[in-house]
Chain A
Amino acid sequence: MINDADLLVNDAHWAFGTGFEDPLAGVDTTVPEGVDAAGLARCCLMLGDDALVLSQRLSEWCSRAPDLEEDIALSNIALDLLGQARLLLARAAAADPSLVPVLPEDSPVPAEDALAFFRDAGQFRNVVLAELPNGDFAETVTRLLLFSTWRLEVFEQLVTHADTVLAAVAAKGRKELSYHRDFSARWFVTLARGTEESRRRVLTAVDALWPWWSALDVPAEVDVVLEQVFAAARVERPEVPPAEDGGREGGHTAALTDLLADMQSVARAHPRGLW
């Protein structure tokens, strides 16, 4: 007879171990003096949710992208965003533990996972732009261009944040985001100046996304970069009234509910992390 103890000689049998991993293990998460802990947590939650939700959307492309290289690229970008989301949600939880949903006492699920998998749509703080369905490849690329240009600029500003954890996450993330932005900007220009059909799809995507994009309060520097990309693509930015984006207060579209149902079902069925 073989005992469990004999089988599990060590965690190295498993590709990534059997335990839950704290992305901030050993990091000093004391909130610095002068920083409002609840405000910091809210900020990390917004940025973390933006990344988590778009990461989930992008990973829907896995095995479905137009070709292998783009499939791998979109999955890699999704993975970068997931990594940023884990750090930011863990940071939010450490700064303000009251944000974290309460799980059964013996649950080993860490705070970042409790935030990701055990909140309902109304508790998510991402912008609607991140949750919209992917649409076609042109729409995915256009959304990623807008999102990563904006996020890169936000991270550039956060590098000097008084909270050293958030500043470190931003300093790391900006390098990743520059690849995401350049990837999507190149595809945006390529499709816009490609065939009649690819251009039509880009223009349709811009029109569909623009109300959600213009609803956002983005730093002026973002426009400077987008202007360059749109000029190279010979695409005009539409003049449309902004949509009402209540995402930061928990007001979402039905698309987020569907996304979460997909993403959260396994974790919710097994809140103790056992099956």
Chain B
Amino acid sequence: MTVLTKTGEGAAALASELARAREVAETVVDPELPMLTLADLGVLRDVALTDGTVVVDITPTYSGCPAMATMRDDLVHALHREGFADVRVRVALSPAWTSDWISERGRAALTEAGISPPGPARREGPVLLALKPARRAIRCPLCASADVELTSEFGSTACKALYRCRACLEPFDHVKEI
């Protein structure tokens, strides 16, 4: 095993190992939205290399997200496969995940898969009561019509709402703004 130091060649090797680890971590996809990588979803917060251990920080989309354990396992397996023996996945609770962290590429991939991407999330501040359902300027991801209606604020996973398109009559998921 090569001992890496922070000078000269050692530092360069360390930086390239870190870059490789980051690249591997960035290929891992979300278990529920496999068209998105964890990086595109904004769940992958950081990849670091500390004393030979790859330390990956991920953040849950929702407190009760049941996919966290799978994400952790998938990251560990992907990094093991690429030769990183020591991998630690940590939970980063703060700052809380926001749908604004979904990348442009991620948004395009969602639309491509028939899922409507989130609009801008509400800014911080008191949460005002909304007695009428959220009005979102969204389009049907299948036929692009803006004539859509909300079926439920809660969809197939915690992070999605259910919509129906009045033009093509297809139901579709919308990733909620939080």
Binding between chains A and B: yes
Size class of B's contact patch?
A: 35 or more
Q: Decide if A232 touches B62 in the complex (CB within 8 Å).
A: no
Q: Decide if A81 touches B64 in the complex (CB within 8 Å).
A: yes
Chain B nearest CB from A75 CB (Å) reads 8
Cα distance, A123 to B73, chains bound together (Å):
34
Q: Decide if A26 touches B154 in the complex (CB within 8 Å).
A: no
Chain B nearest CB from A171 CB (Å) reads 5
Residues of A with C-beta under 8 A to B158: 76, 79-80, 176
**Chain A CB within 10 Å, residue with most, of B67, B72, B154, B155:** B154
Is B74's beta carbon under 8 Å from chain A?
Answer: yes
Chain A nearest CB from B112 CB (Å) reads 25
Question: Chain B: which residue is nearest A226 at the CB level?
Answer: B129
Is A144's beta carbon under 8 Å from chain B?
Answer: no
| A84 CB contact (under 8 Å) in B64, B133, B156 | B64
Q: Bits for B86-112, please: 1 = Cβ < 8 Å to A, else 0.
A: 001111111111000000000000000
Q: Decide if A183 touches B154 in the complex (CB within 8 Å).
A: yes
Q: Decide if A83 touches B62 in the complex (CB within 8 Å).
A: yes
Number of A-B contacts (CB under 8 A): 132
Cα distance, A16 to B71, chains bound together (Å):
9
Q: Decide if A185 touches B131 in the complex (CB within 8 Å).
A: yes
Q: Decide if B126 touches A156 in the complex (CB within 8 Å).
A: yes
Cα distance, A215 to B63, chains bound together (Å):
29
Is A11's beta carbon under 8 Å from chain B?
Answer: yes
Is B60's beta carbon under 8 Å from chain A?
Answer: yes
Cα distance, A175 to B92, chains bound together (Å):
17
Chain B nearest CB from A197 CB (Å) reads 22
Question: Chain A: which residue is nearest B59 at the CB level?
Answer: A172
Residues of B with C-beta under 8 A to A83: 60, 62-65
Residues of A with C-beta under 8 A to B178: 175-176
Is A160's beta carbon under 8 Å from chain B?
Answer: no
Q: Bits for A158-189, please: 1 = Cβ < 8 Å to B, else 0.
A: 00000011011101111111110111011001
Size class of A's contact patch?
A: 35 or more
Q: Decide if A186 touches B156 in the complex (CB within 8 Å).
A: no
Chain B nearest CB from A178 CB (Å) reads 4
Chain A nearest CB from B155 CB (Å) reads 7
Residues of B with C-beta under 8 A to A82: 64
Residues of A with C-beta under 8 A to B151: 69
Residues of A with C-beta under 8 A to B66: 16, 79
Question: Chain A: which residue is nearest B95 at the CB level?
Answer: A171
Is A228's beta carbon under 8 Å from chain B?
Answer: yes
Is A260's beta carbon under 8 Å from chain B?
Answer: no
Question: Chain B: which residue is nearest A26 at the CB level?
Answer: B90
Q: Decide if A182 touches B153 in the complex (CB within 8 Å).
A: yes
Q: Bits for A32-72, please: 1 = Cβ < 8 Å to B, else 0.
A: 00000000000000000000000000000000000001101
| B70 CB contact (under 8 Å) in A17, A176, A225 | A17
Q: Decide if B69 touches A165 in the complex (CB within 8 Å).
A: no
9 shortest interchain CB distances as A-B pairs = A26-B90, A83-B64, A83-B63, A69-B152, A168-B93, A73-B154, A168-B94, A172-B96, A76-B154
Extra pairs beyond A26-B88, A26-B90 (13, CB < 8 Å): A16-B67, A17-B72, A21-B69, A79-B66, A80-B63, A82-B64, A84-B64, A164-B94, A165-B93, A168-B96, A172-B62, A182-B153, A229-B129
